[in-house]
Structure 1
């Protein structure tokens, strides 16, 4: 009987993982690929439009992070608990009460964002155009917290299909609205790029309505709507308010440390244009273009690298807490080494290959770059290593119950970033924010790494040796890719989108092939592929 139950749980886990993996891949592909036609339709205002879009989304992302405050995960845990105890009606009671709180929370943050938009626009060096963009996004902030709670409810039932399909529907409808609105405005209508950007950001609200539709459809299909919204019995043993307060207390540290990327981007947004206006002769429109080169344009690509790296390296983080609870420091040390190895195994060659092929990569998305755009793009790609390391080390530190240290190190990083920001902008221009971010993250990375070692005593020699080996095989990969790139320029220039696609397909394929073979030869791939690495070596006759 136990085996059957275990098999069922394993099947549920596999189905859930498959649905969420498919959802994440589809969502990220759509989030990256829409920019190609969207940017092209914006014409000469493409960089300004993307800067406007990025400035609005930086603030919007922070509002989403704060407004949910970890409540969806808490709902999933509570629903799973009461279902296991055979108290399904308690799960519905709890969800209904929490929904009221989250609707109120969404209204508070949405209204605040709407009315604070002029102030946030001024800090960003924007004007009424940016105010319009932020206000269009505030509608999505209103409904996101309650929608995310419904997703958490399905997660609590180990039913990830509605969760995943709601994410896919949200992205598909959002992108369709963005592209249709932009096409009609820019190609058929007035050609006002600001209105097109406003409709593109308002698409976030339309996408969430589609997500709501999918979630309510599955509530109806599974017969849960009546249980949720019908008359319910009072449960004196359940205190939703206490659960919300407790969840906020647990979630706040994760929100603080998890908001580093958004906060650093906001510091750039709120200081770069205003500082450059004061110390240079650039016009505001020129600075908007520079900001696009610095932040909005690279982030569409760099955030994909970071997200994939974190998803690969973060698999073992829940197990880290389990080992610490069991006081298994040896197991915790191994997990830390494995997580860091997995992160470096992906991120180092990905950054190196992207830097070599930076020009065709940029061209595919935004057209042929000038020298300044290319320089800032390469700098942003290199900066990814700092963003990725911080994004993995911070949750690992919290997983071993060192939350206060994680927050202190985060605060030190923000302080360093804030102190260096203005002098570096004044002396280095658009490169200043990139360097201040690297230093601002580099210090907490070093502190977190050292604290993890102090607590778990993992072997720094092993980490160094594995990192060195990854760097060596990455360099061996870079050589043929760089030679290909140099020689192929005599055949085809990477200044057109189609030509750049050919560069990426051949050069990227060559890099993946060389790195893959070297990773198999050195057995580094075993960490990522497991037993499949051995089968691949046998097929390729590699010892």
Structure 2
């Protein structure tokens, strides 16, 4: 019995790798994008309620989250990706009993590790705050969420390893709904009702991460109990020919997890470099005050992040989906299937991310106004950040692919090269380009790292370089046509709508996006490109819309 026959999502028929990839990517994309949208939409009322403290408050919030993100990676120790990879491996051997043992043992270990990491983050917050007293309580509020995140991530990794992406996707949405609800309610009461200060509001806004995780945990437990009878049936049918001790399982997991924490923290590492260097470097050759520097940090880091991470989440969802599939094909020595899977994954990434990026560039002004305020500098930085986000998205996918091929040391080394380039370029880029500098340095660093990783993946899998590049060029052409259409629609709407008014900016965005999606969708269906990358089921859309 193969894992393809017994996937949680469809036990009645065998799903090929492309169908699994598309189905899993769909769930993870929906979960990631909706959760990111919720995580971005809250900023509209939140930023408005902060009044004149909006940029500084957002900067404080973002600085706390940068450190928190690093601790989440340390606390989870790369477990979601590692456990998904190992469970997929044992499932492909029909050793479901070992997969279950691995899951339960890891769950207990990570629950304890969560307590340890939360305590450490709470205690050393004054050091990590680097002299900012307002940042200490923000970090401590976030440390509480570190308590439960590791064990929750184990459950997500367990479902992903079984190639069932729905529970993870739904739990992400539940998490954001609970988080945003508490955040907005607390901020409104503190700022508008009791007339409190913005620092207190930021503290409660970050504590909302813990509230969100409680909701996500509940959703995951519900899915686990619902699917337990099916898993019991698979365990009963296991081969039971592989003998692995508890200690070996734990050692195996740790060996796989360490590279995932390092490579998975790539974006966080780059952002921490910005956090601890930007204001100091800028202070060395400008006369900006501390609040002005904090506002500038918000302009290039905190503000665009809320929007750009929506597109990056597309890559994250695909990477989570592709990891167990890559490992399964590699384990079964399916060389032709592996090469095609890698090529299709890269093309599918650009098929989704490229139009999303170009669309954000065209609509940067109304989007920035909708979420923040009319600000020429902020809009220009958002455009730059959008392009860098496309590079980051590809890095996430290709680094995960390399790790799925058991080339962890190569992934770490190549990331190290990219990070070193970032460190070397950070000062001259900021000195020359000021607020644009950190993003340029990050873009170059990620580009070099991704290029080196792509070369290594090609060396191992021999995926069709020529076909991948040709189709990527075709996707780029389609995206440019879509971008031109969106620009025309946007320009027409500017004739009678003011993009500097929030509601009118929203109308411009909705109509322009609808036009862009229609044109891009028609091109992808007309040329059969969508069929080739997403499977025959896409043909139903062509019939529905009468596209020959």
TM-score by length of 2: 0.85
Aligned partners of 1:55 and 1:416: how far apart in 2? Answer: 23
Q: What displacement does 1:56 show? A: 0.8
Aligned partners of 1:278 and 1:299: how far apart in 2? Answer: 26
In terms of mean alpha carbon deviation, does 326-335 or 198-207 score higher? 326-335
SS at structure 1 position matched to 2:499 = coil
2:125 to 106, 110, 117: 117
Q: How does 1:75-224 map to 2 (within 5 A)?
A: 98-122=106-130, 127-149=132-154, 166-212=171-217
Q: Confirm or deny: 8 A CA contact 2:482 2:520 kept in the other structure.
A: yes
Alpha-carbon spacing, 1:75–1:461, altered in 2? closer, same or farther (3 Å): closer
Aligned partners of 2:534 and 2:155: how far apart in 1? Answer: 34
Q: Confirm or deny: 8 A CA contact 1:80 1:157 kept in the other structure.
A: no
Deviation digits for residues 395-448 of structure 1, max 9, x if unmatched?
Answer: 122223322221111110010001111121122111110000011011112212
1:301 to 304, 307, 313: 307
Aligned to 1:346: 352
Aligned partners of 2:80 and 2:320: how far apart in 1? Answer: 19
Q: Confirm or deny: 8 A CA contact 1:313 1:343 kept in the other structure.
A: no
Q: Confirm or deny: 8 A CA contact 2:8 2:164 kept in the other structure.
A: no
Alpha-carbon spacing, 1:455–1:154, altered in 2? closer, same or farther (3 Å): closer
Aligned to 2:393: 388
1:58 to 58, 61, 66: 66
Aligned to 1:447: 452
Q: Confirm or deny: 8 A CA contact 1:294 1:376 kept in the other structure.
A: yes
Q: Confirm or deny: 8 A CA contact 1:352 1:474 kept in the other structure.
A: yes
In terms of mean alpha carbon deviation, does 18-27 or 100-109 score higher? 18-27
Aligned to 1:227: none
Q: Does 1:332 align with 2:348?
A: no
Aligned partners of 2:159 and 2:457: how far apart in 1? Answer: 35
Aligned to 2:495: 490
Alpha-carbon spacing, 1:503–1:336, altered in 2? closer, same or farther (3 Å): same
Q: What displacement does 1:353 show? A: 1.3
Aligned to 1:39: 47
1:480 to 474, 482, 485: 485
TM-align CA RMSD: 3.5
Alpha-carbon spacing, 1:220–1:434, altered in 2? closer, same or farther (3 Å): closer
Q: Confirm or deny: 8 A CA contact 1:313 1:342 kept in the other structure.
A: no
Q: Confirm or deny: 8 A CA contact 2:329 2:335 kept in the other structure.
A: yes
Aligned to 1:228: none
Q: How many residues align?
A: 523
Deviation digits for residues 286-313 of structure 1, max 9, x if unmatched?
Answer: 1111111101111111111011134246
Q: Confirm or deny: 8 A CA contact 2:315 2:396 kept in the other structure.
A: no
Deviation digits for residues 2-30 of structure 1, max 9, x if unmatched?
Answer: 99x8597625999x969877654543332
Q: What displacement does 1:36 show? A: 1.6
Aligned partners of 1:407 and 1:8: how far apart in 2? Answer: 33
Q: What displacement does 1:457 show? A: 2.8
Q: Does 1:426 align with 2:431?
A: yes
2:279 to 248, 273, 281: 273
Aligned partners of 2:314 and 2:263: how far apart in 1? Answer: 19
Aligned to 2:235: none
Deviation digits for residues 203-222 of structure 1, max 9, x if unmatched?
Answer: 11233334455567788999
Q: How does 1:221-300 map to 2 (within 5 A)?
A: 240=246, 242-300=248-306
Aligned partners of 1:154 and 1:395: how far apart in 2? Answer: 17
Aligned partners of 2:474 and 2:89: how far apart in 1? Answer: 43
SS at structure 1 position matched to 2:124 = helix
Q: How does 1:508-523 map to 2 (within 5 A)?
A: 508-523=513-528
Aligned partners of 1:266 and 1:56: how far apart in 2? Answer: 11
SS at structure 1 position matched to 2:195 = coil
1:362 to 362, 368, 372: 368
SS at structure 1 position matched to 2:497 = coil
In terms of mean alpha carbon deviation, does 22-31 or 465-474 score higher? 22-31
Alpha-carbon spacing, 1:106–1:310, altered in 2? closer, same or farther (3 Å): closer
Alpha-carbon spacing, 1:140–1:282, altered in 2? closer, same or farther (3 Å): same
TM-score by length of 1: 0.85
Aligned partners of 2:30 and 2:525: how far apart in 1? Answer: 26
What runs of 5+ residues in structure 2 fail to find an aligned partner?
230-242
Q: What displacement does 1:333 show? A: 2.4
SS at structure 1 position matched to 2:528 = coil
What runs of 5+ residues in structure 1 fail to find an aligned partner?
225-236
Q: Confirm or deny: 8 A CA contact 2:160 2:321 kept in the other structure.
A: no
Q: Does 1:10 align with 2:15?
A: no
Aligned to 1:321: 327
In terms of mean alpha carbon deviation, does 385-394 or 241-250 score higher? 241-250
Task: Flag the structure with larger Rg.
Answer: 1
Aligned partners of 2:27 and 2:520: how far apart in 1? Answer: 29
1:530 to 532, 535, 541: 535
Alpha-carbon spacing, 1:160–1:407, altered in 2? closer, same or farther (3 Å): closer
Q: What displacement does 1:73 show? A: 6.3
Q: What displacement does 1:500 show? A: 0.7
Alpha-carbon spacing, 1:59–1:367, altered in 2? closer, same or farther (3 Å): same
SS at structure 1 position matched to 2:498 = coil
Aligned partners of 1:156 and 1:436: how far apart in 2? Answer: 35
* Structure of greater relative contact order (alpha carbons < 8 Å, 6+ residues apart): 2
Alpha-carbon spacing, 1:46–1:483, altered in 2? closer, same or farther (3 Å): same
Q: Confirm or deny: 8 A CA contact 1:329 1:456 kept in the other structure.
A: yes
1:378 to 378, 383, 393: 383
Q: What displacement does 1:275 show? A: 1.3
Aligned partners of 2:544 and 2:165: how far apart in 1? Answer: 36
Aligned to 1:417: 422
Aligned partners of 1:149 and 1:30: how far apart in 2? Answer: 24
Q: Confirm or deny: 8 A CA contact 1:310 1:343 kept in the other structure.
A: no
Alpha-carbon spacing, 1:442–1:97, altered in 2? closer, same or farther (3 Å): closer
Alpha-carbon spacing, 1:80–1:270, altered in 2? closer, same or farther (3 Å): same
